[in-house]
Amino acid sequence: DTGVSQNPRHKITKRGQNVTFRCDPISEHNRLYWYRQTLGQGPEFLTYFQNEAQLEKSRLLSDRFSAERPKGSFSTLEIQRTEQGDSAMYLCASSPPLSRHTGELFFGEGSRLTVL
Amino acid sequence: AQSVTQPDIHITVSEGASLELRCNYSYGATPYLFWYVQSPGQGLQLLLKYFSGDTLVQGIKGFEAEFKRSQSSFNLRKPSVHWSDAAEYFCAVGDTTSGTYKYIFGTGTRLKVLA
């Protein structure tokens, strides 16, 4: 059983560029979450998908951020016109359907973004 | 609103000493509670979780935590710390009220272990 996979693991970009991160959840997990973790802080919730539907978005998710999960499998998180304040670790997590949900989220290793 | 407080930003202990990391939560219903550990540059690793039942839960790497409803606490303990335990520790509460089951994390406690 493979875990949650995130790519790329590290991304360095210049301010103003667009970046995209990909998350492949554990197979058969229909729930998918994105979190952001800045230096010295705990992870903060960004958005949640159930299958392909984006059901909740945090106020942290500005207009420059967009997340998709087009076929209910992998998800992408795109940041447009990056700013230095976007530098962070972006974490993806998944969990099974409610009928089999244990309350536990399964996290990937994260994608670290550095904006110069 | 739901929240998690980890009062200690940094803790330093000597190798072999006991450890207790504090976590207080604010949550209206019966909480799902978690402790995660994160080594530098790494992802989150689940140490232990509490959903219901026995309030003393055992986890990996010799860690345990005790749920105290009256104190809204879920403190993490280890009787004898090893140098490899140096890392950042996060307490989290699972939000089941909205149906998302998302986590709300504390700000973390960074553990330093002296040889």
Q: What is the pLDDT along chain B (115 residues), one digit of tens a residue?
A: 789 999 999 999 999 999 999 999 998 777 889 999 998 877 888 999 998 888 999 999 999 999 999 999 999 999 999 999 999 999 999 887 777 888 999 999 999 999 8
Q: In angstroms, what separates the C-alpha of A6 from chain B's closest C-alpha?
A: 11
Instruction: Name the residue among B103, B107, B108 with its Cβ closest to that of A105.
Output: B103
Q: In angstroms, what separates the C-alpha of B30 from chain A's closest C-alpha?
A: 12
SS3 A71: coil
* Bridge pairing between strands B109-114 and A75-79: unpaired
**How many residue contacts between A and B have a Cβ separation below 8 Å?**
58
| Residue that wins the pLDDT comparison between A71 and B113 | B113
Report the 10 Å Cβ neighbour count for B63: 20
What does the pLDDT read at residue A1? Answer: 54
How high does pLDDT run on average in chain A? 93
Q: What are the distances in angstroms from CA B29 to CA B2, B34, B87, B93?
A: 10, 15, 30, 11
DSSP A26: P
What does the pLDDT read at residue B2? Answer: 83
Confidence of residue A45 (pLDDT cuts 50, 70, 90): very high
Instruction: Name the residue among B4, B43, B100 with its Cβ closest to that of A55.
Output: B100
Does pLDDT of A7 surpass 80?
A: yes
Report the 10 Å Cβ neighbour count for A32: 28
What does the pLDDT read at residue B99? Answer: 75
SS3 A100: helix
> What is the dihedral sign for C-alpha B42, B45, B47, B51?
positive
DSSP B52: S
Does pLDDT of A98 surpass 70?
A: yes
Mean pLDDT of the region A43-48 = 95
The angle subtended at Cα A19 by Cα A17 and Cα A25, nearest 5°, is 175
Q: What are the distances in angstroms from CA A49 to CA A109, B2, B49?
A: 19, 21, 23
Does pLDDT of A40 surpass 90?
A: no
Enter the tokens of residue B60.
């990996």
